[in-house]
Structure formats: C-alpha cells, structure tokens
Amino acid sequence: MSRSNTPRNDQRAGTPKSCDEGKPHCQTCIRLNIPCAGYQTGFKFQEDPQPVRLKARRQAKRGMPTSSRQSGTSASPGSSSATPEDELKAEGYDEKWLRSHFPRPLPRIFREILQGVGHDSVAYRAAVYALAHVPVEFSSDAPNETQVTALKKFYHLSLQDVAKCLPVEDADHMALSLAILSVLSIVEMKLGTYLGGLTHAKQAGALIADKLGILSSSAVGKQVVAAWFPIKAGYSVQCVPWDKLARVLPSEALGQSWDLLQSSDDKSHELAALLVESRRLYALVSLHRLLKTSSSTDDISSWPDLYQTVVNKCSSGLSKSEEVSYRSEVAGLRDRLDAWHDSIPLEDRPIYGTTSRLKKKLYSQPPGARIEPLTFQSYRAAMNYDRYAAAQALSSDEALDIVTGATSPLTAYRDEWNHLILQILAGLEEVPCTGDDDNYLGLTWIVGQVVGLRCLDPSVISWIESRLELLASASQDWGSLMPRDLFRPLLALQRGLLERGRVAVHIFGDMGPSIELSEARSPAAKRSLLVVGLDIESARAFARWLS
C-alpha cells in the first residue's frame, strides 16, 4: 500500500535553526514521550520549511520543562553535572557492551565507523544503543516497555548531541553525520513511527545531494552513502509515485550516484535504488493509464483526501510524450538490472534441482500453482535475487500492458518474473530466515505488492495463502511495511476480484502521516482502502473506496 507523506500544519513544531526546521520529527518525539532536545544548528532540506511555534511555547503547553542545551550536558533528568559520556559509562554502556549487542541489521561499515571516526561521538553511539534496544520482532502485541524506555532514552540523547556533528566540512565527519541519521531512521522504521524516520531520511538525502562529491572522496563516505539507499528505499515506496520523495534521490543526484553504487561490494545497495525507481515509474504509468479509462461514476467528494488526490491527479492520463519519456527511463533501468545480474558471483545465483517425486506432486496442481523451488547458498542471496526479480517484474512492458488493459493476456499467460519470485519463496523452506538481510524492502512487501497486486490467476493467490506460515517465518517483520494482519484480507480481496473477472492493481491505505504503523497494528483499528484495478474482459479500469 502507498501512503501520502505531506505533513499537515498542525503536525509541524519547532522554529528555524532548532530541532529539524519545523519538520514532523518533533511530533514523533511528542508521541514517544521524548523530551525535546533541540538541535543547535539547522538541517538543510530539499524544500523550504515554514516557521511555526516556538519550542518553548510547545513545551509549556505540554507542561514540560524546557530542555537544557548547554554544550556537553544531557537534558535528561538527573544529569545537571554529568556529561553524556559519563552517564553511558556509569550504566555499563561501553565498548564491551557494544561488541556483544551490536545490532545485526547494520551493515559492516557502521561498526567500522564506531571503531573509527565515530568512536568519540555520543550522538552516534547513543543512536546505535537505541537501535540495539528495539525488539527484533514486533507483533500486534505492545512492544516490551523496558526495551522501549531504554531506546527512548538513547534516542533522546542522540538527538541532543547530534548538533556537535554539524556543520562539518571533511568527508569522514560528513559520513558520521549521515550514519547517525541513517541509524535513527532505522530505529523509527522498526518502531513503525513513519514521520520521524521520513524526516531523518530527508535530512540524509539533502546531505547526500549537496555533498556527494565530498562524501565520494572518502572510502568511509562512499560506503555509508551506498548503505543509506536501502534505508531510504523503505520510505520512498510508501510515497505516492508523483511525490519527489518517491525517488530515492533527486534525479540529478541519483544519476551521479550510479557509479558509486555499482562499485559497492554489497550488491544490495544498487538493487535498492533500482527497485525504488522501477516501482515509481510502474506506479506512475499504470495509475495514469487505469484512471484515464476508469468507468467509475462514484461521487468522490466524500472520500478521504488521499483517495481524492489519487483519482484527480491521474484521471487525465499522461501525454504521449510523457509516457514515452517514462518508458525510456524504464528501458534504462532494465539495462542496469541486466548488468547487475551479470555482475553477481555464481554463488549468489539460484540453484535448481528437482526429483520425480516433486514433478509428480506439481502435476497435481493447477498450472499457475506449479512452482518449483529455487534455493540459494544464503538467505541474503535469496533476498537480493527476489528484489532483482521484483524490479524486473515492475519494469516489464508486457506485464504493464496486460494489467492496464492495453493488450489482452494470452491463454495460460504466466508472468515469468512473478513466477520467479514465488519459486524463491518456495525454496526458502530449505534456507530459513537468518536475519542477516539489511535491505528494508522485505519478502512480504514483494509478494504482496509485486505479485499479489499484479496476479491474474486466482490459483496463484491460493498458493500464496497456503504458504502464509512459510512467508511469515521467512520474512523480517519490519520489512513488510504494513501490519501483518492486513496481508491475509488483502489476498482474499484479490482472489475474490479475480473470481469475478477483475484484478486489483493498486491498493492505497488510510495510513497517512497522522496514522502510524505502530497505531495501525491495533486489531481494533478501523481501516479503509482505495482499490484501483481492471475489469479483465472489458479492459476498463475501476476505482472503489472500501470502508
């Protein structure tokens, strides 16, 4: 599902040159009950922020004492004389603790920074401490309060001390600033607090766009920039495709980043950018094609604002030149995806094997559900290949034409890229989730958004439904980008539509900026959906609000 990311005026807090320039991260601090630490210097954004209420006025309204911002002094209770470094050491948070509890999802470069340029940075160490206290998996149950209390403390300390890292001019310390923002984004992502994480991702993106040349002059800078792309990807795919934040970076900066990404030892970094761009362009073209031909006559004036925006934005369609331009970009992405595939070593490619017993079992299934498993030498390799297949699926001209009604599917049509994604899922019975995948577009997102929303065969949906337990065990919870209890109903919705000769191509949820994933996990949460799809026989699109 996609969500809007434009903050409403009542969600902005702070003043220019304090906190995050009035961006919605302050609201996240309020929601997590974190005292406002404030930044001693302003971050630069991709757009000019609007001045809003004074921080002191906001704190007074909430009945909170104004936080201290004296250099080197923590604003947390009981810290009037102790430095943040003293507090950390007094509570046992030292290098030995970090070696034992270093967060697994962080790429190797983050550990190297801790041992190098970030060794004396309280902001960086506190951010890593906060991430180390985030529960590994969140279910619909409330998070462990002890862990959350600890992570709030460290999150607050990191925000308070981050001003010491800014402004900087040398590449290594810029890389340190980028690493701090990256870790804070991951903390928010795993907590399900979208607004704060998006703010940190925007701050980091602005830093990269402005200072890519300097960052690229340092080995540390190159590695941190590359490692940031999968983090930003998790936020970009939640944006409506015409929003500039749906790009992993602005066009010019992204164009300058490809060489850096291709030179990264970790092939998942380039792949994250390719997948985000594939998704953005596919969504742009398919939505405009569908809504231009929509047969809906519903009065949309009572629909939620996001849903009205989607329909109004895309109902006029794209001009011929616009679509040609977008499809040209997609062709370029396919070339990059092919080059990515050619660059990975043989040990990271799928292993195919079969038996007569398996063949016999498959022949008893409907043609669409005859899915032979592909295995890999590691879980990480399987996930990278799955994301590669997803990006290729979203870049396919043939599939785009079919799901938008431009051409009719052939008899027994099968989307080969979708099929490959499911083969990888089937093979994960042999390669369990090891948690070593630090890319934030996970298997649940791929199966739901790429296969589930583009599938024309109800037997394939039934196959996925029969393997939800496998999907859950093979997926990292925070890589799904939506509450897990929504997944089964969405599959059932698609299966029901297919049985009536329709297919859902896009589903938008009501998880806008004011509704966080952490809140939406509640079983009592009421949700509505906008479904944009195609009537297969008539090749006419439809848009329906389901509440």
pLDDT digits (tens, 9 = 90+) for 339-349: 999 999 999 99
- Between 298 and 389, name the one with better pLDDT: 389
Tell me how far apart the alpha carbons of residues 464 and 491 are, in angstroms, rounded to a whole number.
8
Query: What does the pLDDT read at residue 338?
Result: 98
DSSP labels, 326-388: HHHHHHHHHHHHHHHHHHS-GGGS-EE---HHHHHHHHTS-GGG----EE-SSHHHHHHHHHH
Edge-to-edge strand list for the sheet holding 502-509: 502-509, 529-535, 540-546
Cβ neighbors of 4 (< 8 A, separation 6 or more) are: 239, 240, 243, 305, 306, 309, 512, 513
Average pLDDT of the residues in 217-236: 94
User: What tokens does 448 get?
Assistant: 């739901």
**C-alpha neighbours within 13 Å on the C-beta side of residue 215:** 28
Tell me how far apart the alpha carbons of residues 279 and 538 are, in angstroms, rounded to a whole number.
26
DSSP labels, 183-204: HHHHHHHHHT-HHHHHHHHHHH
Whether 105 and 216 have beta carbons less than 8 Å apart is answered as no
- 112 has a pLDDT exceeding 80: yes
Whether 519 and 498 have beta carbons less than 8 Å apart is answered as no
Average pLDDT of the residues in 502-524: 67
- Structure confidence at residue 182 as a pLDDT band (50, 70, 90): very high
- Between 358 and 42, name the one with better pLDDT: 358
Query: What does the pLDDT read at residue 16?
Result: 33
Q: Residue 526 in 3-state DSSP?
A: coil
Please give the DSSP secondary-structure letter assigned to residue 120: T
Q: What are phi and psi of 532, to 5 degrees?
A: -115, 125
Whether 274 and 339 have beta carbons less than 8 Å apart is answered as no
Average pLDDT of the residues in 410-430: 88
Cβ neighbors of 143 (< 8 A, separation 6 or more) are: 135, 191
Instruction: Give CB contacts under 8 A, 24+ apart, made by 209-216.
Output: 209/46, 209/249, 209/250, 209/252, 209/253, 210/44, 211/174, 212/253, 212/256, 212/257, 212/260, 214/169, 214/170, 214/171, 214/174, 215/171, 215/174, 215/175, 215/178, 216/171, 216/260
Query: What does the pLDDT read at residue 501?
Result: 94
Average pLDDT of the residues in 55-61: 41
- 39 has a pLDDT exceeding 60: no
Closest CA to 273 of 318, 315, 306, 225: 225
Domain residue spans of the chain: 9-69+92-266, 277-546
User: What tokens does 221 get?
Assistant: 């800078």
- Structure confidence at residue 515 as a pLDDT band (50, 70, 90): low
